[in-house]
Structure 1
Amino acid sequence: MSDPASTPSNQVPGPADRLRIVLVGTQHPGNIGSAARAMKTMGLSRLVLVAPEKAPSVESYALAAGADDVLAGAATCATLAEAVADCRLVLGCTARSRRVALEELLPRDAAARAVGEAAAGAEVALVFGRERTGLSNDELQLCHASVHIPANPDYSSLNLAAAVQVLSYELRLAVLAVAGQATGPDAEGGEGGPERREPPASHSEMEGFFAQLGDTLDAIDFHKGRAPESAMRKLRRLYLRAGLDSREVRILRGILADAQRMASLARKGD
């Protein structure tokens, strides 16, 4: 089993090396192989399996049709949170609207955003759910945005590998576009290049911040007896939209720690 964040040791990491395809709860081993084939045809190599019902099998390798290296290098994680812990951007591919309010992207827009983040040095995950039921609401809650393939509404059911192929193709186009731009005057290190900044906050850093934010809001009685879920969903969207870097998260967590300390002192003074 390899690390979800690993890249081949003989390669200089580029945007495609920071993109991972995450399959959650895959039910049929053959679909894992077909997804691996779809990835390799488009230059992607990082596959992560989250709690698959069955491990990759002979059928998986047969349907991979030569993408054996992608299958052999696939990491397996127990939870989606573990699989995307180091990611700056997590996009959930879903075929239908759910109660979790997420920004909805078309595949081309999602690919452009994903490759843009990867080109800036961030880890990015595109997450695909179970063949029959897709991603759960709790799993979508871990995503920054959703991706919807605008298929024929009269026959909109794409199988897992077909969906992976569509997104892999769009990622390929976006990677090639970035590679073309990298030779221009705005390439990093050239005149007018992008300003360097702190590393983007990882998924685990943001989740740690959200947990502390929830505890702090409880400590200061922010909710006044109301259910906290709605406020936390809105706050999650607000902070995720801000695109915080690691240093900014540390500053915010310091503020929260002081707020918790003051709330504790206030309770002792009552």
Structure 2
Amino acid sequence: MNKLYVGNLSPLVTVEDLKQLFGEKKLPGAEQVLLKSGYAFVDFPDQNWAIKAIETLSGKVELHGKVLEVDYSVPKKLRSRKIQIRNIPPHLQWEVLDGLLAQYGTIENVEQVNTDTETVVVNVTYTTKEEAKVAVEKLTGHQFEGYSIRVSYILDMDAAPPLQAPRMRRGGRSSRDQDGPQPGPSGGFGGPRHKQHDFPLRMLVPTQFVGAIIGKEGLTIKNVTKQTQSKVDIHRKENAGAAEKPITIHSTPEGCSSACRMILEIMQKEASETKE
């Protein structure tokens, strides 16, 4: 998911030009640049840096007389039900956003991405590929309260084919060990990487506390993810009408424990203030 496509490159552009540009913009990952004719692939360490690169470079930076196009590198055959929506107004209510997204299909999950941008970024999973495609087409460039919405396909690990095991050579070393990084399905280096220390924790919370956990403009849940270095998914669309909603926390065991404790404290405070 953190592999980016850099397009509309001049034939004069070199790998060194791209490395210098990324360095000037204080963007990491420029050491892994695969340059082709008119485009390139660049790996980033995580989703936040990928988002920053897209927001900083795409349509805003000129190199050898041509304005760069930057987006996630997701081959057509891997485009599925999952998309990312950026540049959402920070003051937008979740109910309004849900209504906007629901115009294009049934939403399976919406998760806010913890970023340093002033605007909101969410990853959205629709029920079908067709619904996601319609959402991409209709929402791209959509003007909402003075903000131009930006949409991208993102890699859905559930839809991605399994990586082939590396071929072994004499001496027990794999071909990747001897030949260095190998191009992935989209021409970039390797495949999507997962932090080995990620530990998923799933908990159920009373539905009436979901709003307090998210907070106004998503600030409360954003604070939880930032302080605990965790990724928190609130599955509000699951169990429609049920008294409880599931929450999934992805982090180290310590991070999961801290995030869980903060969520319980938020619920306890809300219960105390509302006498529920």
Q: Point out which structure has higher relative CO (alpha carbons under 8 A, 6+ apart).
A: 1
TM-score by shorter chain over 0.5? no
Structure with more helix by fraction: 1
**TM-score, normalized by length of structure 1?**
0.29
**TM-score, normalized by length of structure 2?**
0.28
